[in-house]
């Protein structure tokens, strides 16, 4: 007999009407039919593995696939409080090799816990993993637990790129706190040489031909892809082939104040108010002052963004994907009218603003899926100005700043303000620039009765700038310092206690 169905009031989707207990909501995206996946990073130090790990994790979390980075270097810093020199990474340092292996095993135990008990779907194992012996250990671990494995190897032989990465990222590592840059650079280059001697690159033509992998060569100049197993791996490959590391700036702003903004009405396709037109003129002056080369301008297909862009006297591209969230039966209504005419819908949206779908309209979850092509193209571009709408801007901002689904619908994106986003090593620096044109405030704070802590199954788990705070970590491994012969410290360096939690980057 066909099963009776009941429609979810918040998401407007059909669910079985039976007495089975409800399954926990694992993510803010579609459920994966495949086994959990372990992404294994491979490559010498300073090849951008952690950059790829954190950026990929931010993307996967944003599209609704719970993902977490497990950086073995952090486990090592917890175990060995005082880093002395590159001698720790020499292949003939047997005691240190024991420590490093135990750190890797501790990280894998946490990977298992995350994927089996904490509703994770993808774990990123961020380490060098430069030998076949180490990769074989990971493959055996995955086979024992029924996990899929996808390797990402970053290969770069350009000494200038490597030196730049060391200077920008590695020298600020806790390993080199209070160490002068010359000595730190020398030590780190010797550390790389320790790995170089035993490095066994992935070999998709012979030894590793059965593995699922992508080799990213020379920071995206070339790619080699082998045996992609499923949909999520294909999305990972597509994402990695679109990102780049060239310096650029992304500007996000809303259209100028509209006639509907003045009346408190949502949605619709009204034109600019007088103050909105003044903002468009001010935006033109602002863009000229930035003196940007080859600036791309994107708008939605709605009148108010196009009117704003017209004042710039620059070519612009209209994206239907950038249109404001569809409020369905509530389009062109005020919130007071929605409360009076659709009281249940009004209350439901306050309960769960991210998942709530307007009748015959959209949810923030739908909007994220609609905006994925925009994110992909933004990653490919250099300098871009996106003139969009409040909900759209929140979704884009949540991607760049690694905000959770719980935070996203309440991000403040005021009218007549430009947000300047500058990608940095492991995140994004944001500047808020008001153009000093008055406008109505369209922001609605989270209702008091709906305020709650982030859903633990939906929070951001990557250690990245502006991510939701991590809880206090319990020690994951015992200290191995008693097993390690501490070498003399580097010249100009003072060994420091390394915190068990990485400090936040500048935002």
Quote the tokens at residue 133: 């012996």
Q: Say which residue the tokens 């010359």 belong to.
A: 182
pLDDT of residue 420: 98
Note the pTM of the prediction, 2 decimals: 0.86
Q: How many CB atoms lie within 10 A of CB 238?
A: 10
Task: Give CA–CA dist 249/382, Å, rounded.
Answer: 7
Task: Give CA–CA dist 419/380, Å, rounded.
Answer: 19
Q: Are 129 and 41 in contact (CB under 8 A)?
A: yes
**DSSP state letter for 443:** -
pLDDT of residue 24: 45
pLDDT of residue 35: 86
Active site residues: 126, 156, 255, 324
**DSSP state letter for 83:** -
Q: How many CB atoms lie within 10 A of CB 351?
A: 13
Backbone angles phi, psi at 68, to 5 degrees: -145, 140
Per residue of the chain (507 residues), give pLDDT as tens.
677 888 888 888 888 876 555 444 444 454 455 689 999 999 999 999 999 999 999 999 999 999 999 999 999 999 998 888 999 999 999 999 999 999 999 999 999 999 999 999 999 999 999 999 999 999 999 999 999 999 999 999 999 989 988 888 887 889 998 889 899 999 999 999 999 989 999 999 999 999 999 999 999 999 999 999 999 999 999 999 999 888 899 999 999 999 999 999 999 999 999 999 999 999 999 999 999 989 999 999 999 999 999 999 999 999 999 999 999 999 999 999 999 999 999 999 999 999 999 999 999 999 999 999 999 999 999 999 999 999 999 999 999 999 999 999 999 999 999 999 999 888 899 999 999 999 999 999 998 877 654 443 333 333 333 333 343 334 444 544 444 433 434 444 444 433 333 333 332
Task: Give CA–CA dist 327/172, Å, rounded.
Answer: 47
Q: Are 14 and 7 in contact (CB under 8 A)?
A: yes
Indicate the SS3 state at residue 201: coil
Quote the tokens at residue 57: 């994790």
Q: Are 184 and 171 in contact (CB under 8 A)?
A: yes
């Amino acid at each position: 007999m066909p099963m009776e169905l009941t429609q979810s009031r918040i998401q407007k989707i059909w669910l079985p009407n039976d007495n089975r207990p409800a399954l926990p909501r694992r993510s803010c995206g579609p459920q994966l039919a495949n086994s959990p996946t372990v992404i294994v990073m491979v490559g010498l130090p300073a090849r951008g593995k952690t950059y790829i790990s954190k950026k990929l994790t931010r993307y996967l979390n944003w599209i609704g696939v719970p993902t977490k980075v497990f950086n073995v270097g952090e486990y090592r810093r917890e175990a060995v409080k005082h880093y002395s020199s590159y001698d720790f990474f020499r292949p003939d340092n047997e005691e240190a090799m024991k420590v490093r292996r135990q750190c890797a095993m501790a990280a894998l135990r946490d990977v298992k816990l995350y994927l089996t008990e904490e509703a994770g779907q993808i774990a990123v194992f961020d380490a060098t993993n430069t030998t076949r012996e180490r990769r074989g250990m990971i493959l055996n671990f995955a086979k024992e637990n029924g996990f899929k494995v996808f390797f990402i190897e970053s290969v770069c032989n350009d000494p200038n790129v490597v030196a730049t990465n060391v200077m920008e990222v590695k020298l600020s590592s806790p390993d080199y706190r209070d160490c002068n840059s010359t000595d730190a650079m020398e030590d780190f280059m010797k550390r790389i040489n320790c790995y170089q001697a035993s490095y066994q690159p992935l070999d998709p033509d012979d030894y590793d031909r059965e593995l699922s992998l992508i080799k990213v060569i020379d920071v995206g100049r070339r790619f080699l892809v082998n045996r992609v197993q499923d949909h999520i791996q294909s999305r990972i490959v597509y994402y990695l082939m679109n990102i780049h590391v060239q310096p650029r700036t992304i500007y996000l702003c809303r259209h100028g104040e509209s006639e509907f903004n003045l009346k408190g009405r949502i949605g619709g396709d009204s034109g600019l108010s007088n103050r909105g037109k003044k903002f468009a003129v001010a935006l033109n002056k602002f863009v000229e002052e930035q003196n940007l080369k080859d600036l791309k301008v994107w708008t939605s297909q709605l009148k108010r963004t196009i009117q704003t862009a017209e004042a710039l006297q620059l070519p612009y591209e209209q994206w239907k994907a950038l249109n404001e969230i569809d409020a369905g039966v509530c389009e062109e209504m005020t919130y007071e009218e929605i409360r009076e005419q659709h009281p249940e819908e009004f209350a439901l949206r306050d309960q769960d603003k991210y998942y709530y779908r307007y009748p015959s309209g959209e949810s923030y979850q739908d909007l994220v899926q609609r905006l994925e092509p925009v994110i992909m193209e933004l990653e490919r571009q250099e300098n871009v100005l996106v003139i969009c709408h409040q909900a759209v801007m929140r979704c884009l901002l949540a991607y760049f700043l690694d905000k959770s689904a719980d935070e996203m619908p309440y991000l403040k994106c005021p009218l007549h303000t430009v947000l300047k986003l500058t990608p940095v090593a492991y995140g994004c620096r944001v500047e808020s620039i008001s153009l000093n044109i008055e406008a109505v405030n369209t922001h609605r704070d989270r209702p008091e009765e709906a305020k709650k802590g982030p859903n633990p199954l939906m929070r951001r788990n990557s250690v990245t700038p502006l991510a939701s705070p991590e809880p206090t970590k319990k020690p994951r491994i015992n200290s191995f310092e008693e097993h390690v012969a501490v070498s003399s410290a580097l010249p100009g360096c003072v060994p420091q206690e390394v915190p068990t939690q990485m400090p936040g980057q500048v935002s």
